[in-house]
Structure 1
Amino acid sequence: MESSSYNSGSENPSSNGNISSFNSTRVEYMNSRSSEVGPLILYGVFSVFGSTINIFEISSLIVQETLCRRGNVLLVNQALANLLVSAVSFPVMCVAILAGLRNEHFICEWEWHTALACFLVTVMNYLCISVENYLQTCRKEGDLYDNCFRVQLILILILTTWVAAISFVTTLFVLQRGPNLCQENFEDSSMLFVFFVPVFLTITVFAKAVYEQRNITQSLSQQNSIGSREEILQRHLLNSNVVAFTLFLCFWLPFLISLTLHSMTSVPPISTIHQLFTLAQIYSCVCGIVYALIHDSFRQGYIYLIRYLCFKTHGELSKLMTPEKTRGTVRVHIGMETRVGDRSRKSTRIPCVISHYESSSSKCEEDFL
C-alpha cells in the first residue's frame, strides 16, 4: 500500500508538468496564429476585390463600343499586370498563412519577385500609354498615329514589356543580385534609379499631352465648340490615365524611396518597409476603381456587368420577365391594328358624309359611329 501510494504520488507531478507544458505550448501557438488573422483577411479581401475589378476593366473594354479601339489594348495589358498580384500573388499568400508557411523564405521570394515583375510591366506599359495618348490627342494630323501604333506594333510592345520584366526578375533571382526585401539586402539599391527613367519620361509625356490638350480645348471654346465625339472621349480617357498613373506613383514611390534611404542611412526600419511594400501591392487592386469613378464609358460598362451578373444569379427574375414582354408585344400589335382600322374607316366614310349629308345624314352617322 505504501509503495502504491508512493508511485501515485510520484506520477502526479510528472503528469501535471506535462499538462502545464502542453497548455503553455498551446497558448503560445494560439497567440502566434492569432497575429496572422489580420493579414489573412487583408490578403483575402483584396484578392477577391482586386481580381473582380480588373476583370471588370477588361470586360468593359470589350462590351463598350466607345472603348473598342486598338490603343486601349494597352489598358488590357495593364489590367493583366494587376491581375498578376491580385489573382496570383495574394491567393498564394493566403494559402501560405493557412498552412503556417508565411515566414518561409521561398514564400517571401515569390511575393517579392512577383510584385517586382508587375511593377516593371506597369512602368513600361504606362510609358507606352502616355505616348499613345499624346499622339492620339495632340498629333492627329497626318498618318503619324497610324504609323506608330499599328496593331502589330502594339502587340510587339506588349510582348516586349513582359519579356523584359520576366527576364530582369529571373536574372536577379538566379544571380542573387539587386535589392532583396526577403534577405534584407539593400546594397545594390542604386539600380532602382534605373526604374525612375521610364517614370520621369512618362511624367513628361503626360504633362505635355495635358498642356497641349488644354490649349486645344481653349481654342475650341473660343469658337463655341467642344469638339467632336471622338475628341471628347479621347480627352476623358487621357485624364483617366493621368489620374491612374498619379495613383500609381502615390502607392509605389514611398516604397522605392524607403529602400533607397535604408541602403544609405538604415532609416526607415525594416517593418516600415514591409508595410510600404504591402501598400504598393494594393495599387493593383484599386487601379480599376479610378476608371469607374472618372470615365463614363467604364462606369457604364461596370454597371452593365453588375446587372448581368445579378440577373444570371437570380434565374427567377428572367422567367418572370419573359411573359410580360410577350404580353406587351401582343398588346402593342393589337393597338396598332385598331388604329389602322379606325383610320381606314374614317377615310372611307368622310366622302359619304360630304356627299349625302343632306339626304342620309342619319345613316352615315350610324355607320360612322
Structure 2
Amino acid sequence: MTHPISSQTHTRHDLAEAVLEAHRAGMPGIIAEVVDHGEIVRECAGFAEVEAQTPMTPELHHRVGSIAKTFTTVTLLRLVEKGIIDLDAPIGGYLPELMPGTRGEAITVRMLANHTSGLNEYLPVIYDSLRAFPNLAQTSPRSLIELQFTRFDRRELIGIGVGAPPAGEPGSLPGRYSNTNYLLLAELIESVTGTAAEEHIRTEVIEPAGLDETYFPDGSVLAAPHTSLYESWFGMADPPVDLTDFDMSWVGPAASLVSTAADLNRFFGLLIDGRLLRPESLEQMQSTVPVISFEGTTIEYGLGLHRRETVDGTVWWGHDGSVWGGGALTFTRSDADRQVTVFTNRQRWNSLDESGRPQPHPIDAALASVVTTGMG
C-alpha cells in the first residue's frame, strides 16, 4: 500500500526546499533520497564539483564512511549464524597475536561490535591534525593533506590502538566509539574465512543484497562519476581543500565504503525488514548500549547500528559516516516502510570560539531540517 499522491507531493516539495536551504547555508552539494512505502523521492542541490560547477545528481557515488560498519557487522553475524564465530568469545582466542594477554581474554567479539571494548582510537597518533583534541584551535588540516596518498598497514594501526591508553575497562559503560574495534573485526573475518574482509563482505552481503553501486575502492581515485569532497577543518582551510582523492587505508573496511543513496536505502530496508539476517541476529544488532561518539555525544549503539527516536516516539535504525570532506547519514524506520539517506560534500564547517569549541553554523540547522523532513 502506498501513501496518497498528495502526501508524496508534499514530501517532494518540502524535501526540495530543505536541501536547497542546506546549499544556501554553505553546503557545496547535497543529495537526499526518501523512500516511503516503496515510493521514492530524490532531491539534490548545489554542486558535485565546485570549480567546474558540476550539478549534484542523485546517482553519484559517494564515500559513506562509517556506514561501512553496518556491512561489517552483518557479515560478522552471518558467520555467527553458521557457528564459525561466537559473539561472546574472547577476541584473544581468535587473534592472540593482535590481542594478547588479559585484555585479549576480557574483550569479546560483541564488545568490539558495540564499542564497549575500552580500546582507544588510533587516528590521533597517525594524524597530527587530530592530536590536540579536544582543543581544536591547536590543530590544522596539514597532516590530512600530507598523508593524502599514504598507504597504512591495518595491523600497525591496530597495534597503535591496542597500545594506546585504554578508553575504559572492557564491557564498561558508556562505551567509546573507536575504529580500532572494527579493524579487529576485519582481521577476525579474514582469519576465519581465509579471504580479505572487503572481498568477503562483497560476496556475503553486497552482492546478495543486489547493491550494484556499492564497493570498497581499490585505489585513491574513484572511477565512476562521484561527488567531490571539501574539508574546511573549522575554518582553517579557507577555501575548503579538495580531499576527494584519498588512500582510505587509514580506516580500511571500517569506513572506506563507496555507495549511492539508492543502494543504502535498499540495504538498510532489507536489513530492518529481516531479509538479510535471522530474527535473532537482527535482535542482537538492535540491542543497544550508550556509546560516546567522536563528537562527544552519547548515542544508542547496537552491533553496527544506531538507534534514533523522533519526538513522536518513532524508532529509526541506521548509521552515519564521515570522511575528510564528506558526510553521509541513513536511517530506516523500525517498520522498514520509510527511509532517508543524505549525502553532503563538506565537513567541519563550524568555526571555533576562543576556547576551541565549534560554534553553531547555519548548515547545522539546515541539515537537521533535511533529516527531519525526510523522516516525515
Structure 1 or 2, whichever has the larger Rg, is 1
Structure with greater helix share of residues: 1
Structure with greater strand share of residues: 2
Q: TM-score range by the shorter chain?
A: under 0.3
Task: Report the TM-score, using the length of structure 1 for normalisation.
Answer: 0.28
